[in-house]
Chains A and B, each alone.
Chain A
Amino acid sequence: MQGNTACAEGALAAGCRFFGGYPITPSTEVAEHMALKLPKTGGVFIQMEDEIASIAAVIGASWTGVRAMTATSGPGFSLMMENLGFAVITETPCVVVNIQRGGPSTGQPTMAAQGDMLQCRFGSHGDYSVIALSPASVQEMYDLTAEAFNLSDRFRVPVFVMADEIIGHMREKLVVPDTVPRQERKLLKKGDLPFRAGDDLVPGFPTFGKGYSVHVTGLTHDERGYPCATSPSVHEDLVNRLVDKVESARDAISSADIVNPDARVVFISYGAPSRAVQQVLHDTSRDDIGHLRLKLVWPFAESLLSRFPDAETFIVPELNLGQMAREIQRHTDRTVIPVPKLGGALHNPSDLAGLLEEVA
């Protein structure tokens, strides 16, 4: 099965019942498959007029209590940025799949990239935090998309599936599980204020049409949901909570494969370049090489680095100019070597093996 189709199947298995989107290479197969399958589940597929409207429709659908998603690529992702901030401040669960292609602008529509890793984290204005996953196989396109809905409902935050053209378009074996684990959205209890959170910092969700009359606004709001845009403390408390509800859980939700924790030299990767690193580890006879493969990229859990106590060097191959390498560098005093690659081709395992010989 193709990666993009597996993504759509994972979403359907997770109970996604709304897709609002606009076709764009190399993500279109996700929308195509949802258009084919969603109506048969009683769900709704809408092709919107553009990506701004697409994410707006997803946000609206989510407030009716359904699991909602969209899928896009670079130019569409850029258009979604403003409303993604709206999803953050209104604490609207939604899943956004980005099958990354070469940018900036129209760039390379049919070629792979990982150039939107910082955009997904910081692309809307203001301070906030989100969750991003990065699949490295067709199986993970299924599994991580399903998991994205759980994380999104649990934290009431947009969750990004940051794939790329290689993983989205390649075909390989998919084993469909009988069921996928499902964590439901916590609902608002009668009498509670709609934006007052308990210890987990996530307020209960007042589903539209289920007896609540709630004001949902992009303005800074108090715990009742009413606009309150001039009080420094209300804004500070709200934004801090929006950040902390995700950041305080970063170790709890971190998800990564760890290979050879005693290694001196450790590759760190996510998405397609992971497959090149796996080939290098498979082919090498050296036993001092490790691999940290991030499945959950944001929030970056720096505690993962200390799982390699003997590491002297981290090597970070990415299909960009070193976006996550910069994040990794700020959490460690070890040497971090970015291996940037642009143009759409994957790092060649023999090049990475050659680099390995050079550094250690």
Chain B
Amino acid sequence: MRTEIRFSGFGGQGIILAAVIVGRAAVMYDNKHAVQTQVYGPEARGGASMSAVIIDDEPVLFPKVTSPDIYVIMSQEGFEKYGVSVTEGAVMLLDSTLVHSRPACRYIEIPATREARESLGRDIVANIIMLGALVAATGVVSREAIEKAILDSVPRGTEELNLRAMKKGFELAEQVKHG
């Protein structure tokens, strides 16, 4: 089954890396197929950033997202760009620290940037919190796979911080599920 995931936020949040990690988890550790793409402009940081990953049991033919099943939105601008045209069946994980609007589909509020700052002391791992929440809420890849893919992808010396961020994401999503 084809699952399309759209990530958006601003440059510097690790929006593209988040999609790369999910794709890597699917391909390298869950034995699935995936294609990861992005749209970016000439800006390096601060501009809108969008990435996507498509996961399938069969090889992915068309590489671009047409109708996302899952959204991971980490900025208000990202919401305004992609969050207003969601299909009813989609699910959205949003960073409630930075996104003030709410979509017309099912959504899960994850205060990722606040938790990154207050619990972990580093804003920069907000994207990994969102990844943890994504996996716990949707099961799009396995927890083992996302953990390995995160460890493959983050700079040496930050492994523990990133794993704590991932687990924080698991917890936040579970609280929503059961809360």
Contact = CB atoms under 8 A, between A and B. Distances in A.
Residue from the set A25, A169, A171, A345 with the largest chain B CB neighbour count within 10 Å: A171
Residue from the set B23, B33, B42, B64 with the largest chain A CB neighbour count within 10 Å: B64
Interface string B24-54: 0001000001111111111000000000000
Contacts, number: 50
Contact of B63 (A166, A282, A348): A166
A275 B42 CA distance: 26
B87 to A, nearest CB: 14
A207 interface: no
Nearest to A172: B35
A173 B33 contact: yes
27 contacts: A110-B39, A110-B40, A169-B37, A169-B38, A170-B35, A170-B36, A170-B37, A170-B63, A171-B20, A171-B36, A172-B34, A172-B35, A172-B60, A173-B27, A173-B33, A272-B63, A275-B62, A275-B63, A278-B61, A278-B62, A279-B61, A346-B62, A346-B63, A346-B64, A349-B62, A349-B66, A350-B66
Interface in A23-43: 25
Given A275-B61, A350-B66, A109 B37 contact: no
Contact of B62 (A110, A169, A172, A276): A276
Contacts of B64: 166, 345-346
Contacts of B60: 172
A282 B61 contact: yes
Interface in A274-294: 275-276, 278-279, 282
A171 B23 contact: yes
Interface string A336-354: 0000000001101110000
A166 B41 CA distance: 14
Interface of B: 20, 23, 27, 33-42, 60-64, 66
Contacts of B40: 110
Given A166-B37, A169-B37, A171-B37, 13 more contacts: A110-B41, A170-B35, A170-B37, A170-B63, A171-B20, A171-B23, A171-B36, A172-B33, A172-B63, A173-B33, A276-B62, A278-B62, A345-B64
Nearest to B26: A173
A173 B56 CA distance: 12
Interface string A174-192: 0000000000000000000
B82 to A, nearest CB: 15
Interface string A82-122: 00000000000000000000000000011000000000000
A272 B37 CA distance: 12
A350 B67 CA distance: 12
B17 to A, nearest CB: 11
Band of interface residues on A: 20 to 34
A219 to B, nearest CB: 42
A254 B38 CA distance: 32
B88 to A, nearest CB: 19
B23 to A, nearest CB: 6
B42 A171 contact: no
Residue from the set B20, B42, B60, B61 with the largest chain A CB neighbour count within 10 Å: B61
Residue from the set A25, A166, A172 with the largest chain B CB neighbour count within 10 Å: A172
Contacts of A25: 42
Contacts of A279: 61-62
Interface string A38-63: 00000000000000000000000000
A13 to B, nearest CB: 20
A348 B66 contact: yes
A282 B20 CA distance: 26
Contacts of B41: 110
Contacts of B38: 169
B33 to A, nearest CB: 6
Contacts of B63: 166, 170, 172, 272, 275, 346
B121 to A, nearest CB: 31
B120 to A, nearest CB: 27
A36 B10 CA distance: 29
A173 B61 contact: no
Contacts of A172: 23, 27, 33-36, 60, 63
B152 to A, nearest CB: 12
A346 to B, nearest CB: 5
A348 B65 CA distance: 10
A170 B62 CA distance: 12
Contacts of B62: 275-276, 278-279, 346, 349
B35 A171 contact: yes
A172 B20 CA distance: 10
A272 B39 CA distance: 15
A162 B60 CA distance: 22
A344 to B, nearest CB: 8
Nearest to B64: A346
Contacts of B33: 172-173
Interface string A250-282: 000000000000000000000010011011001
